[in-house]
Structure 1
Amino acid sequence: MVEHIVIFKFNDSTTVEQQNEAIQKLTSLKNEISGIVDIQAGVNFSERSQGFELGLTVRFEDKQALEQYGPHEKHQEAVAFLKEIGLTDLIVVDFEI
């Protein structure tokens, strides 16, 4: 299995409502893209986040599933929404478990 972790930073105009909509769009990908075992997302509450406001974890069956996820149309729609609401930075970590 592969664990995919992403943390997101947004500009000051991004609302909590927009972040919650992003969470819904991201978590719904489990029903849209094959190879996803589990997906979780939420708004950060830690003050240690260095300004990153949203977290995402996606567990994939294998590396091939992760490779298919990136260019998938539904994933790209979610990425476009994140950019639309003010995404300014992100960090991605992928590892096998």
Structure 2
Amino acid sequence: MVTHIVLIKFSGAVTDAQVDKLIDKTLKLKDEIPGIIEIQQGRNFSNRSQGYDVGMTVKFENKQALENFGPHPKHQEVVAYLKNELGLEDIIVVDF
């Protein structure tokens, strides 16, 4: 199993509805992209967040499933929403 961790920082203010839409779109990926075992995403409430607003974890069957995830059109739709609608400032990704 492979775990994919993502931390997201927005460049400006976003609404709760926009974040809810992001979370909804992200959680649907489990049913749209093969190889995803589990996916979780939520708002960061830690005071140690260094400005990161949202966290996500995805568990994949294997490394190949993770590699297929990145370019998948449904994943790219979420990435486009992050960049174009929410103003993505920074992202940290850890895979293990």
TM-score tier, shorter chain, comes to: over 0.9
Letter in 1 for 2:91: L
TM-score by length of 2: 0.96
CA offsets, 1:12-37, max 9 Å, x none? 23222211110111111000000000
User: After TM superposition, which residue ranges in structure 1, 4 or more long, deviate above 4 angstroms?
Assistant: none
Letter in 2 for 1:40: Q
Residue by residue over 1:45-88, the C-alpha shift from the partner in whole angstroms, topping out at 9 and shown as x without a partner, is 10100000000000000000000000000000000001121111
Cα displacement (A) at 1:11: 1.8
TM-score for both structures, normalised by structure 1: 0.95
Q: Is 1:16 the counterpart of 2:55 in the alignment?
A: no
CA RMSD after TM alignment:
0.7
State how far apart, in whole Å, the 1-side matches of 2:65 and 2:33 are. 9
For structure 1, list consecutive stretches of 5 or more residues without a partner in the other structure: none
Partners of 1:49 and 1:13 in 2: how far apart?
Answer: 16
